[in-house]
Amino acid sequence: MSFQKKFAIVIGVFAVLVIAWISIEFESGEVPFISVGELIENHDQFTQSRFRMGGNVDEGSISYSEDKLTVNFVLRQGEDLLPVTYLSAEIPDLFKDEAEVIVEGKYLDGVFQADNLMTKCASRYDEEANYQPLTEG
């Protein structure tokens, strides 16, 4: 077999291995976005994995620990409610009643343990959120 062929085979095998490895890592690295209802219905399926959820902060549900590092609240999506706990020195400033949030983490014993909390804010580059006209006409 010529060297060219040998080299091509080696490259080919290497390529197949790398692609397979990337696919496996990718699948295990996927963080699915699921609905609160889905979680409540099939909660035993979700105990090991990480996932993301979105919804609104249920009014009046926010409570902070005494040292202010942990916040507990209820995530509401449609009719479904889910208690969430999040520990961080940096609670987003836009986090308040009815705020739209995305949480990422794991589900344990009926409570969502979030390690990431994001609030939605109006995009600074939004076409619509322009300027405030002082006068018109």
By CB under 8 A, tell whether 20 contacts another protein.
Answer: no
| Cα distances (Å, whole numbers) of residue 41 to 45, 53, 75 | 9, 14, 16
Question: Least distance from C-beta 125 to another protein, angstroms?
Answer: 5
* Torsional class of 93: left (φ above 0), alpha (ψ -120 to 50), beta (otherwise): alpha
Nearer to another protein, 60 or 124 (CB): 124
Site string for another protein, 71-100 (x = CB under 8 A): ----------------xxxxx-x-------
Nearer to another protein, 25 or 110 (CB): 25
CA-CA-CA-CA dihedral for 39, 40, 42, 46, to nearest 10: 40
Closest CB to another protein among residues 26, 110: 26
